[in-house]
Structure 1
Amino acid sequence: MTAPPPAEREILTWELNGQACRELARLVLDDGFVPDIILGIARGGLIPAGALAYALDCKRLISLNVAFYTGVGETLAEPVMLPSLLESSGLIDQRVLVVDDVADSGKTLKLVDDYCEQQGRVAEVRNAVIYQKPHTITAPDYCWRTTDKWINFPWSTE
C-alpha cells in the first residue's frame, strides 16, 4: 500500500500534541477518574502517557510493548505483546489508565485492556487516546479527536 498524499493526512504538530494531552487530562479530571497507574503502549503511546502522567500528577508510569503496524496502513493480522518487564502483580487493586496515540482498529487497546483485566483484581481499567478512528472496535473512554485519515505524529514523522 502506498502512503496517502499529505493532503489526505491528519497532521499533529508538537504544539497541537501539547494541547491534545492537556485536553485529554481535563477530560479525565472532569470525569472524576484518578488513575493509580498510567500504562503507556509503546511506542506511540509513550509520549502522550508521559504528558498525561505529569498533567494528572500520577507518578506511576509503566509501559507495555505491542507490535501491530508494519508500515503506513499495514498491520500484522493481530497485535502482538512483546516481552516486557511489567510485573502484573503491580496492577492488583489499581485504577489503570491505558494510553495510546490512536485507536485505529482498536485491537491493540482490546489486547491491553484484556491483559489488565486477566491479571485479576484490577480495580478499574480505562483508556485514553489522542485520536480514534470511526471504525475502531474498542471505543476509548477519553479521546481528543476522531478522524478517518492517516495520522502523522511528530514523534514518528519528523
Structure 2
Amino acid sequence: MRYYGYNEFLVDMKQLVNVLDFEPDGIVAIARGGMSIAHVLGIALDINEVYLINAISYSDYQKEVLKISNPPSLEGRKDILIVDDIVDSGESMQRVCQILQDMNPDIHFKTASIFYKPEAIFKPDYYIHQTHGWIEFFWEVDVLKD
C-alpha cells in the first residue's frame, strides 16, 4: 500500500492543469474519489459547473458489483472533463463515460485521474502516475486517524 498525501496531491493537481490540452466548461466527479480533484480543478480552471455521478464498486477493499447512479444534467455544456482519483480496473470510468455520452451525444468528453493502472480496461486521457498497487488517499485515511 502507498500513502498519498496532500502535498503530493497539490503538486499533481498543478501538473494536471498544465497538461490539459482542452478547455472544459464543466467537470464531472466520480464519487467519492473524484470529488477532491473536481473541487481543486474547478477552482484552478475557474469552472463553477462541477457535477457528481456515483459509481460504487468497493466496500472495505472488496470489489463488488458496479452501481452507477445520479447522472447529472449537462444541458448547455460542450466540453466535459470526467475525473476520478484512480483508474483501477477501468470499469467505473468506462461505464460512466458510456452513460454520459449516451445521454449527451453532442458533448465532447475527456477523462483524467491521478493514478492509472496499466492493466485497466480503460485508459484516461490524462493521468499523473501509473501504479499496480493499492493507494491510500489522504482524504480517505487521514480523517480516521486519532
Q: Which residue of 2 aligns with 1:76?
A: 64
Cα shift at 1:97: 0.2
| Contact in 2 for aligned 1:66/1:81 (Cα 8 Å) | yes
Give the TM-score, by structure 2 length.
0.91
Write the deviation string for residues 46-79 of structure 1: whole angstroms up to 9, x where unpaired: 001111111112111011111111122x2113x2
**2: distance between equivalents of 1:51 and 1:117?**
24
Q: State whether structure 2 residue 31 is matched by structure 1 residue 38.
A: no
- Runs of 4+ more than 4 Å apart: none
Q: State whether structure 2 residue 81 is matched by structure 1 residue 97.
A: yes
Q: State whether structure 2 residue 39 is matched by structure 1 residue 54.
A: no
Cα shift at 1:120: 3.3
Unaligned runs of 5+ in 2: none
Q: Which residue of 1 aligns with 2:98?
A: 114
**1: distance between equivalents of 2:76 and 2:30?**
19
**2: distance between equivalents of 1:57 and 1:120?**
23
* Matched position secondary structure for 2:48: coil
The alpha-carbon distance between structure 1 residues 92 and 121, as it changes in their structure 2 partners (threshold 3 A), is farther
Q: Which residue of 2 aligns with 1:18?
A: 10
| Contact in 2 for aligned 1:129/1:142 (Cα 8 Å) | yes
Unaligned runs of 5+ in 1: 1-8
Q: Kindly report the root-mean-square deviation, in angstroms, between the aligned alpha carbons of the 2 structures.
A: 1.4
Give the TM-score, by structure 1 length.
0.84
Identity %: 27
**2: distance between equivalents of 1:122 and 1:98?**
15
